[in-house]
Chains A and B, each alone.
Chain A
Amino acid sequence: MALRRHHLHGRYEVTARRGEIRTGYELTGLPPGARKIVLAGNPNTGKSVFFNAFTGLYVDVSNFPGTTVEVSSGRLGRDVVVDTPGIYGVSSFNDEERVARDVILTADVVVNVVNASNLERDLFLTLQLVDMGLPIVVAVNMVDEAERLGIHIDFARLRELLGVPVIPTVATRRQGLDIVRGSLDGARPGRRDPLVDDLAARAGELTGAASTPADRAEALLMIEDDPQVLEEFGGRPAGRREEVYRRRRERVDGLVAAVIRRAKPRLSAADALSRLTLHPVWGGLLLAVVLFGLYELIGVLAAQKVVGFTEDTLLRGYYEPWVRRLLAPYLAAGGAAEAFITGEFGLLTMTITYVVGLLFPLVVAFYVGMSILEDSGYLPRLATLVDREMTRIGLNGRAVIPVILGFGCVTMAIITTRLLGTSRERTIAVALLALTIPCSAQLGVIAGMMGGSGGLAFGLYVGAIAAVFVASGTILNRTLPGVSSDLFIDLPPLRLPRAGNVLQKTWAKTVMFLRDAGPLFVYGSLVISLLRVTGWLEDIQGFLAPLTVGWLHLPREAATAFIMGIVRRDFGAAGLAALALDAAQRVTATVTITLFVPCVAAVMVIFKERGPLQALVIWLSSFAVAFAVGGLVGRLAELLL
């Protein structure tokens, strides 16, 4: 046992160094006697509420090396608690499962959180953990909701059949949490399926590996055809997964029949609303309400009211003059140092103003909106609602999640395209994100520019971007070889999101975002200041004049904004917003900068995820499409406005 753990820790240290991200797995220096307690469960079981209750304030949220999957860890007394992504089973169907698997394999104790009203689904994972031979405590959460749905659970019987501690809880009301904590010492391996156990005992022989892993968990995963574990032990898939799954499913159904008694459910307003979300008419109306709410939160409250105060009043009005006065005695007026530090594009002026005054409020608002959507259980329903339309552009409904995320940060959204089933879908989604989706920071600036232009100008903008989205998706779907995967997702019931959870998520994600984006703003401002000081900025403006002035009918200085836009699109949008433009020019400018090349960070991620060829093709075609469509829409705007 000690040997295995040592070996696995070694592996994590290597991956952690490669990804250069803190994960909490380097916690090899656990105090003597400290345990690693891992929370595992299906999505939407309330696992994070347990995590927050156990660990309190000092929590480390980080991306698992090489993935966008977030893993949180914290302390519970001497022990370390690690939260894992929600999964339906331990395997390698997607990134979440791979991460959860790697964390679970190093657990000393697993706290398996299951949803009381969905035992048919959730106990599959429980029995898999039992078959892995891990010491387990099962927390049956949301028993209040189950009661309401007429589901009565015989806990004593479930305890007996599973052979592990089983505790009813209502985590949001802190019921049962102390009992779970007190039961950690009583965690023990449950009753394994003897037939599956026998297969696992012969894992080496059945997979053609040199030996059967001493660790039962790894032996089981080998029998279940897990590619990574097979590779590690040099085996080939035995083709027994379906057989093992089928037996496990039969056991789950047997367990459920033995412990659950059903009565008539009392349906709540949320249940009725859940049904309406997919209704042909009401579903569309609800979606409109949700989008309007998001627009009010991000586009109006954050982008106009809050940013108006933080960027214009606070930073441009008070901070920038203050820092200029403060440093004036040390910087020669009109010199290079002044340009770099407190100039128009200076590190302490423009960069600070953009990051603190503009980006920060927008990103916070965006994550508040996203967390509410996530916690409410609405996203899978949205995916179902739009599935038919998405299949026309070669995607399925799940792709709506990266698209919506793209409105926050295109770079992050591109990484989440990994959740899509095939490489074909990822290519389409990445291209659409890079080309057409404006990120939250850019969106804020665009909303500001469009604010006073009236409905027609706004309609032209939205129409142009939507047309490019549909057209490029359709073309890619027609031309790319292969077939896309189909929608097959679990729809959780709608729930009222909890403020504490939403704020905690928002904070963790905002910090991560600013940590990543901050340095890029610094580099961007340095590059522009350099161009400015050397006089190259003027040359580029002159060189691009036929395009910016001749074709787009924008002022010469727009070229500066586009150069800035290469670094970050919102940077570019902010540059355009600073110019004096008429209504038609504003439409041209916003359409062009939205379709313009994705920011440096996004391009780097495309390069890494999709290879150099795709990155180059996307980058160059963004240039072409942006200027072509921008000019055409501009002509239309000149006629109409």
Chain B
Amino acid sequence: MNLSDARPGQVVRIGRIADARTRDQALRFGLAEGTEAVCQQALARGPVVLSRGALQVAIGRRLADRITVEAVPRRRGRREG
């Protein structure tokens, strides 16, 4: 699935980021490919907000369409981030 399909509260593992510049910036932010993050919010046809620890990043809808993610099942008592 793509990041744009993520629902608020869902934990996702980031797969492939198509754009090279976005990949570099994601590495700086700490949202590299393979990282687990929580979808905080998904604005209707707007950006998706991802969080990891105290970090929150907003990703435009079109960009979120080009980032593949994998849903991570939430285990009971699991901590966010």
Find out whether the CB atom of B20 lies under 8 angstroms from the CB atom of A242.
yes
* A279 CA to B53 CA, complexed, in Å: 20
Q: How many A-B residue pairs have CB under 8 A?
A: 115
Find out whether the CB atom of B45 lies under 8 angstroms from the CB atom of A388.
yes
| Chain B residues closer than 8 Å to A380, beta-carbon distance | 58
A245 touching B27 in the complex, CB below 8 Å, given contacts A280-B44, A387-B46: yes
**Residue in B27, B32, B54, B58 whose beta carbon sits within 8 Å of that of A384 in the complex:** B58
1/0 per residue B40-81: CB within 8 Å of A?
110111110100111111111111000000000000000100
A120 touching B30 in the complex, CB below 8 Å, given contacts A387-B58, A487-B60, A488-B60: yes
**Which residues of B1-42 are within 8 A (CB) of A?**
20-25, 27-30, 32, 40-41
| Chain B residues closer than 8 Å to A385, beta-carbon distance | 43, 46
Find out whether the CB atom of A124 lies under 8 angstroms from the CB atom of B58.
no
Find out whether the CB atom of B58 lies under 8 angstroms from the CB atom of A491.
yes
Find out whether the CB atom of B49 lies under 8 angstroms from the CB atom of A384.
yes
* A118 CA to B63 CA, complexed, in Å: 24
Closest to A87 in B: B28
A391 touching B55 in the complex, CB below 8 Å, given contacts A278-B49, A491-B49: no
* Chain B facing A: main interface SS: mixed
Closest to B63 in A: A486
Find out whether the CB atom of A388 lies under 8 angstroms from the CB atom of B54.
no
* A279 CA to B58 CA, complexed, in Å: 13
* A124 CA to B49 CA, complexed, in Å: 21
**Which residues of A458-501 are within 8 A (CB) of B?**
486-493
Closest to B55 in A: A121
A121 touching B28 in the complex, CB below 8 Å, given contacts A149-B54, A384-B43, A385-B43: yes
CB distance from B53 to the nearest CB of A (A): 5
* A242 CA to B20 CA, complexed, in Å: 9
Find out whether the CB atom of A488 lies under 8 angstroms from the CB atom of B27.
no
**Residue in B28, B53, B54, B62 whose beta carbon sits within 8 Å of that of A391 in the complex:** B62
Q: Which of B41, B58, B61 has most A Cβ within 10 Å?
A: B58
CB distance from A332 to the nearest CB of B (A): 65
**Residue in B27, B28, B57, B60 whose beta carbon sits within 8 Å of that of A396 in the complex:** B60
| Chain B residues closer than 8 Å to A121, beta-carbon distance | 28-30, 55
| Chain A residues closer than 8 Å to B21, beta-carbon distance | 93
CB distance from A5 to the nearest CB of B (A): 28
| Chain A residues closer than 8 Å to B30, beta-carbon distance | 120-121, 124, 249, 252-253
CB distance from A567 to the nearest CB of B (A): 39
* A249 CA to B46 CA, complexed, in Å: 28
Find out whether the CB atom of B24 lies under 8 angstroms from the CB atom of A245.
yes
Is residue A230 contacting chain B, with contact meaning CB distance below 8 A? Answer: no
| Chain A residues closer than 8 Å to B24, beta-carbon distance | 93, 241-242, 245
Closest to A118 in B: B54
A489 touching B57 in the complex, CB below 8 Å, given contacts A241-B24, A387-B47: yes
**Which residues of A120-178 are within 8 A (CB) of B?**
120-121, 124-125, 149, 151
**Residue in B28, B53, B60 whose beta carbon sits within 8 Å of that of A124 in the complex:** B28
**Which residues of A380-413 are within 8 A (CB) of B?**
380, 383-385, 387-388, 391, 396-397
**Which residues of A407-436 are within 8 A (CB) of B?**
none
1/0 per residue A83-108: CB within 8 Å of B?
00000110001000000000000000
* A486 CA to B27 CA, complexed, in Å: 17
A491 touching B56 in the complex, CB below 8 Å, given contacts A246-B27, A384-B46, A385-B43: yes
Is residue A548 contacting chain B, with contact meaning CB distance below 8 A? Answer: no
| Chain B residues closer than 8 Å to A391, beta-carbon distance | 60-62
Find out whether the CB atom of A486 lies under 8 angstroms from the CB atom of B28.
no
CB distance from A2 to the nearest CB of B (A): 32
* A640 CA to B49 CA, complexed, in Å: 45
* A89 CA to B30 CA, complexed, in Å: 12
| Chain B residues closer than 8 Å to A151, beta-carbon distance | 53-54
| Chain A residues closer than 8 Å to B61, beta-carbon distance | 387-388, 391, 486
Find out whether the CB atom of B54 lies under 8 angstroms from the CB atom of A383.
no
| Chain A residues closer than 8 Å to B49, beta-carbon distance | 278, 384, 491
* A280 CA to B8 CA, complexed, in Å: 13
CB distance from B40 to the nearest CB of A (A): 8
Closest to B22 in A: A488
Closest to A116 in B: B54
**Which residues of A65-98 are within 8 A (CB) of B?**
88-89, 93
| Chain A residues closer than 8 Å to B54, beta-carbon distance | 115, 117-118, 120, 149, 151, 493
Is residue A262 contacting chain B, with contact meaning CB distance below 8 A? Answer: yes
Q: Which of B28, B46, B62 has most A Cβ within 10 Å?
A: B28
CB distance from A264 to the nearest CB of B (A): 9
* A241 CA to B60 CA, complexed, in Å: 24
Using a CB–CB distance below 8 Å, which chain B residues touch chain A? Answer: 20-25, 27-30, 32, 40-41, 43-47, 49, 52-63, 79
11 contacts between A and B (CB under 8 A): A117-B53, A118-B53, A118-B54, A120-B54, A120-B55, A124-B28, A124-B30, A151-B53, A245-B27, A487-B47, A487-B63
Supply 17 further A-B pairs (C-beta < 8 A) apart from A121-B29, A491-B49. Answer: A93-B25, A117-B53, A117-B54, A120-B52, A125-B28, A242-B23, A249-B28, A262-B79, A384-B46, A387-B61, A388-B43, A396-B60, A487-B59, A488-B60, A489-B57, A490-B29, A491-B57
